[in-house]
Amino acid sequence: MGSIISMFFLLFSCINVEVQAQNNIFNVLNFGAKADGKSDDSKAFYGAWIKACNSNGTSAVWIPKGTYMLNPVTFNGPCKGPINFQIEGILTAPSDKSSLFLDCWIGFKHIDQLEMNGGGSLDGQGPLAWPYNTCSGKIEHCIPLTTSVKFAYMTRSRISNITSINSKGFHMSLYECSDVMIINVKVQAPDNSPNTDGIHMAKSKYIQIFDSEIATGDDCISIGDGSRTINVTNITCGPGHGISIGSLGKTPNEDIVDGITVTKCNLTSTKNGVRIKTWSNPSYPNTVSNLTFDQIYVNNVANPIIIDQNYCPNMHCKQGFSRVRISGVAYRNIWGTTSTQVAVNLQCSQANPCENIELRDINLVYHGLPATSSCSNAFYSAWKEACNSNGQSTVWIPKGTYKVELVTFDGPCKGQINVHIEGALIAPSDGPSRFLNCWIGFKHVDRLNVNGGGSLDGQGPSAWSYNTCSRKLEHCKTLATSFKFEYVTNSIINNITSMNSKGFHMSLFRCSNISISNVKIQAPDISPNTDGIHISNSKDIQIFKSKIATGDDCISVGPGSRAINITNIKCGPGHGISIGSLGRRPNEEDVYGITVKDCNFISTMNGVRIKTASQPSYPNTASKITFDNIHVNNVSNPIIIDQYYCPHRKDCKQDSSKVKISDVTFNNIWGMSKTKIAVDLECSQANPCQKIVLRDINMDYHGLPGKLATSFCSNVQGEAYGKQKPPSCIKRP
């Protein structure tokens, strides 16, 4: 009997629960909704909501199939229990002008445990509103169009199986929300619908968005300030502007962005792929950290990987530096096709360079060919981290093509640094980059090792036509040096290629104990002032086993150079290997201890040369210089001392050079001279060359048949030994 009574009470309780559940379902039709697509049903919806919100236990607002026109409405909480907002019908927004610039069309506020689902749709009537959008054309003082559905201060909730169509502004927006899941939603708007972000969030945390399809006119998903622990998974995006973090830094007191993961997403024909964007002017402080973009497939996507810290949507922003710090960003396993040649574009802030940026397993193709990369201040962040590390560190640039903005890597550093360049670095080609000191610089660094087999493309053809220094000496602006080392000591540069520098390819200033080997330098013979390697005010420098073909001196040794050893260099085309020019400026330091040995010159404008200015000319000395075992083939002026150096052959006043040249040996120099005068020693009348030695000279004139090469001497004191072809012109003292 007891068992029968217990069973009775159990059955009664179940029936009671079922009845209570049915009583907590509030059908909007029962509250006066017409579902005719014309009448305003917002009061009926709100009435059903109030009943559900004030009911104990789980309640439901049910919107059956049909078309419902709703004026703007906000469903406020807190409520007594969880609420299921089940949309099976089509909700249509108003189209009158009074509804264009509101905060939202449908809002949910201060609600815990909301479940929105049902397979229905929200039509924002966007086409009637988009012509009134001004925010896509200007930044300041524009009023955004109405968001279709906005969730504010909502917690522990779920939105699923809902479609948003043609929102006026954003489709969905989350503000100050926590622990919200968005799953299996569809967002639809044409690619020309302005500022129609699919899902936007700000100041929210623990948000999950997955298994959804978004096609719209702006960001598929945009993640604003204060977003933390956000997981975006399995999203199909396109058309649209991709998935974006930002924009950030536009307003003061923004909250940080941290812990964002975007994974297993598919982007097709979008204007961007995965993007971080921050303002540069105005810009307010903020930080972005711990971001991961993983397993992203892109199909015909512009800018698949982009950090833009100069974000300016209308291109009329004042120039400045973003104050937003970006760090700890990983791009992994991103592959597909890009519609822009630059597929990886990392334009970071000069004031706050990006730090700890990881690129791993990137495979992007541009029209069947490898795409390129562009980095600004991203390389500097890697350098900064390596420089501050104890012990030996490596900055690794993997294979790929990187567009690199102007950057100088400063020391001193805590330990030895290896810069391992496997990729191809490409310089900017715009106007401001032409006349700067250098493109890539290293300064105040000890124990630097640059290697890797990669290349530097200075984009010289974009700048050479602006060169004026090839036409005049005074008041000309030199073009940017590609690779400059200043105050660098105990270092090695090996297995690097420099192509088409704007100005000099490599430059060493105030350096000591440097070894340069196995470098390749390439530029056409018409490229102006593109010295291969220029040295000044440096000592204990070794350059060997390298090939240099350029438009000016293969190697130029300037004032203050001491203990320089140049060995086994293949030079040509170019202007040969030169000491100088010297004496052009006051207080130049002396040059001594220079050895050029075992070199091969092919079709150069000069061979081995010492050049000094005559007017103006300032005192200096060049001594203890040896040119040994030099082969020349079709070379003009194989052996030349020019103390009347005037590169333009005009506007130079003839006068005696104040530079003293002494103790110079030309030994075992042989081959073919392109000019009849193969040995041309034109020294200063005021300071004749002293202790000049010609030993074993054997050169033919590669001119008219039967013509012999000759030599010419002026103000030279010295001696000649061994074979002298052409006959020596040196007169013994």
Query: What is the domain-level CATH number for residue 649?
Result: 2.160.20.10
475 is catalytic: no
- 213 contacts: CB under 8 Å, gap ≥ 6: 185, 186, 187, 235, 236
What are the residues whose beta carbons fall under 8 Å from the beta carbon of 633, sequence distance 6 or more? 572, 600, 601, 602, 603, 671, 672
Rg, C-alpha atoms of the chain? 37
Residue 519 identity (one-letter amino acid):
V
What does the alpha-carbon distance between residue 733 and residue 258 come to, in Å, rounded to a whole number?
81
* Same domain flag for 397 and 544: yes
| Residue 305 located in a structural domain | no
C-beta separation of 224 from 204 below 8 A: no
Report the C-alpha gap between 279 and 283 in whole angstroms: 5
β-strand 186-188 against 104-109: which pairing, if any? unpaired
Give residue 231's region: left, alpha or beta (phi > 0; psi -120 to 50).
beta
Kindly state whether residues 112 and 190 are assigned to the same domain.
yes
Question: Which of 218, 233, 267 corresponds to the end of one domain?
Answer: 218
574 and 494 part of one domain:
no
Residue 246 belongs to a domain:
no
Tokens describing residue 186? 């569809």
- 542 and 535 in contact (C-beta within 8 Å)? no
In eight-state DSSP terms, residue 728 is P
* Contacts for 302 with CB less than 8 Å, ≥ 6 apart: 270, 271, 272, 273, 338, 339, 340
11: which DSSP letter?
Answer: H
**Any domain includes 288:** no
200 is catalytic: no
User: Pick from 502, 525, 552: which residue ends a domain?
Assistant: 552
Residue 50 lies in a domain: yes
Instruction: Give the whole-angstrom CA distance, residue 662 versus residue 457.
Output: 39
Let me know if residue 77 belongs to a domain: yes
Here the tokens at position 132 are 């009134």
Domain-embedded: residue 90: yes
How many folded domains does the chain comprise?
3
Q: Give me the count of residues in the chain.
A: 733
Shared domain for 547 and 565, answered yes or no, is no
Pick the catalytic residue from 171, 505, 575, 702.
575
Those residues whose C-beta lies under 8 Å from the C-beta of residue 400, and which sit 6 or more positions away, are 344, 359, 362, 370, 372, 373, 423, 424
Do 67 and 180 belong together in one domain? Answer: yes
CA distance 160 to 212: 9
H or E element in which residue 2 lies: helix 2-23
Q: Is residue 286 part of a domain?
A: no
Which pLDDT belongs to residue 705?
64
The one-letter amino acid at 674: K
Q: Report the C-alpha gap between 420 and 162 in whole angstroms.
A: 51
Query: Per-block average pLDDT, block size 10, for the chain (733 residues)?
Result: 32 32 82 97 98 97 98 98 98 93 97 98 97 74 92 99 98 99 99 98 98 98 98 99 95 96 99 95 91 98 95 72 92 96 88 85 88 77 87 89 85 96 87 76 98 96 84 71 98 98 97 98 96 98 98 98 99 97 92 98 98 86 98 98 79 77 98 96 93 96 80 96 94 60
- Same domain (yes/no): 462, 588: no
Let me know: does 533 contact 521? Beta carbons within 8 Å.
yes
Q: Which of 523, 552, 581 is the last residue of a domain?
A: 552
- What is residue 654's predicted lDDT score, i.e. its pLDDT? 66
Based on the domain organization, do 35 and 172 belong to the same domain? yes
Which residue of the set 171, 200, 241, 631 is catalytic? 241
Would you say residue 302 lies in a domain? no
Judge if 71 and 47 occupy the same domain: yes
516 and 562 together in one domain: no
- Are 496 and 615 contained in the same domain? no
Element (H, E) at 44: helix 42-53
The range of the structural domain enclosing residue 634 comes to 556-733
> Percent helix, strand and coil across the chain, each rounded to 5?
10, 50, 40
DSSP string, 502-540: SS-SEEEES-EEEEEES-EEE--TT-TT--SEEEES-EE
Indicate whether 563 and 540 sit together in one domain.
no
Residues 544 and 658 in one domain: no
> Minimal CA–CA distance to 492: which of 526, 440, 446?
446
Q: How many Cβ atoms sit within 10 Å of the Cβ of residue 23?
A: 11
Report how far residue 572's alpha carbon sits from residue 584's, in angstroms, rounded to the nearest whole number.
27
